[in-house]
Structure 1
Amino acid sequence: MPFIVYLRVSTQRQGQSGLGLEAQREAVEQYAARVSEPILGTFTEVESGAQKDRPELAAALKECRRTKSVLLIARLDRLSRSLSFIAQLLEAGVEIRAADMPEANRLMLQMLAVFAEHERRLISERTRAALAAAKTRGVELGVHGKRLAQAHRDEATVFARSLATIVLPLAAQKMSLRRIADELNARGLVSRDGGRWHPSSVTRLLSRLKEAH
């Protein structure tokens, strides 16, 4: 039977950079080539594993039913660590295959989901226990995160100030955010994330400059 591929990453940044996606794509393509079955389509989801409402997965399952294909994933954990969610998928009337464990049948998939959910609960419980113990010892929680956030803000301020002599005169001329963005792009200047300027990124830049003064 042919395959419909479902890929998933947990964050928007991973989706944009390809982190995780390329490894999954390579795994499913190698498996399909090994069993000499075609891939009829690929659906990619950028979403949290805890989120059950996944439009791309729903579309992939629908396409599997329409083309009588097998849903192919790279690894079981790319679907979910929720037993109830895996059970729901297994009841969808679509054969599911994981490239890292193609011999897994429906029962094995359910068992793996049970172990995965158990592991997730253990990790959550250990994390809560560690935080509670640290708080009891008087450790200030979140200090490292606060330092990183402050460093991020400082870097953003330095970047904003480097463009102040260009952006502030444009804003003083009552230019729209769109026109300022177009002007920055025309000059070949990149935004802080290395991309093109948009009204939203100009707004953040002006806000940062205002806070700096």
Structure 2
Amino acid sequence: MVAIVAYYRVSTDKQNRSGLGLEAQRAAVEGYALGGGHRIVAEYVEVESGKRADRPQLAAALAACRLHRATLCIAKLDRLSRDVLTIATLMNGGVDFVAVDMPHANRLTIHLLAAIAEHEREMISQRTKAALAAAKARGVRLGNPNGAAALLTGCREAAAKGGAASRQRADQRAAQILPLLRQLEATGCNSIRAMATALNVQGVPAPNGGVWYPEQVRRALRRAEA
């Protein structure tokens, strides 16, 4: 028997409320588990576009897989493979996975998908540069005629939005890790240093993708409890 963590994704709130697509994914995963005699220990639902790499529920599902030593199970491979960063997150997560629609897909398959996506991104960049060079050769004036001063306001706005987005991601990560920290407290890990050590032993990645340090645990607790 294999422990399974199910991950489902729909693109809109409307689909989430109606169950459109979600129920089909759940039925596929439950059928796979039943047919193989596996046990679903947790499930996570993401309401997000396939173009977005920031997937809080996917991160939570991967953390649950490490906690339960489970396999990540998805109904369709395209629930993960539309964005190269999402693919990289799965590849570097140290978690086994299975896609019901491609049960024989493995890390090599994911690696190939990531390579194809990376190649396509490079080709788009090259085509864009070629088009700009051709326009410049025809005498088209590129860029803002007012220079960098005209972009100052936009840069400030972008910086403010970027800071807010970073804080939001940090708050989300803190909320995701809080249940694990509470479980550690219940098992006797009452110090910040002991919690950091336990998280590293379990293979739970720190916010920066590396190892946990006591100060990171302290900040996560402060954010989650704020």
Q: Under TM normalisation by the shorter chain, which class is it?
A: 0.5 to 0.7
May I ask how many residue pairs the two structures share in their alignment?
124
Q: State the match for 2:46 in structure 1.
A: 45
Partner Cα distance (1:118, 1:97) in 2: 25
Q: Is the 8 A contact 1:60 1:71 kept in 2?
A: yes
Partner Cα distance (1:120, 1:35) in 2: 38
Partner Cα distance (1:45, 1:101) in 2: 21
Structure 2 residue runs without a partner (length 5+): 128-226
Q: State the match for 2:21 in structure 1.
A: 20
Q: State the match for 1:100 in structure 2.
A: 101
Q: Is the 8 A contact 2:12 2:47 kept in 1?
A: yes
Provide closer, same or farther for how the CA distance between residues 26 and 115 of structure 1 changes in structure 2, counting only shifts above 3 A.
farther
Deviation digits for residues 40-90 of structure 1, max 9, x if unmatched? 011001011111221111111111000000000001111131223212211
Partner Cα distance (1:57, 1:45) in 2: 7
Deviation digits for residues 143-178 of structure 1, max 9, x if unmatched? xxxxxxxxxxxxxxxxxxxxxxxxxxxxxxxxxxxx
Provide closer, same or farther for how the CA distance between residues 18 and 37 of structure 1 changes in structure 2, counting only shifts above 3 A.
same
Q: Is the 8 A contact 1:3 1:39 kept in 2?
A: yes
- Mapped pair 1:57 → 2:58: yes
Partner Cα distance (1:118, 1:31) in 2: 33
The alignment's C-alpha RMSD in Å is: 2.5
Question: Which residue identity lines up with residue 70 of structure 1 in the other structure?
Answer: T
Q: CA deviation at 1:118?
A: 7.3
Partner Cα distance (2:61, 2:70) in 1: 10
Question: Which residue identity lines up with residue 87 of structure 1 in the other structure?
Answer: A
Q: Is the 8 A contact 2:5 2:43 kept in 1?
A: yes
Secondary structure, aligned partner of 1:94: coil
Q: State the match for 1:32 in structure 2.
A: 33
Provide closer, same or farther for how the CA distance between residues 52 and 23 of structure 1 changes in structure 2, counting only shifts above 3 A.
same
Q: Is the 8 A contact 1:9 1:46 kept in 2?
A: yes
Provide closer, same or farther for how the CA distance between residues 65 and 45 of structure 1 changes in structure 2, counting only shifts above 3 A.
same
Partner Cα distance (1:75, 1:39) in 2: 17
TM-score by length of 1: 0.53
Provide closer, same or farther for how the CA distance between residues 37 and 119 of structure 1 changes in structure 2, counting only shifts above 3 A.
farther
Structure 1 residue runs without a partner (length 5+): 126-213
Question: Which residue identity lines up with residue 66 of structure 1 in the other structure?
Answer: L
Partner Cα distance (1:44, 1:58) in 2: 11
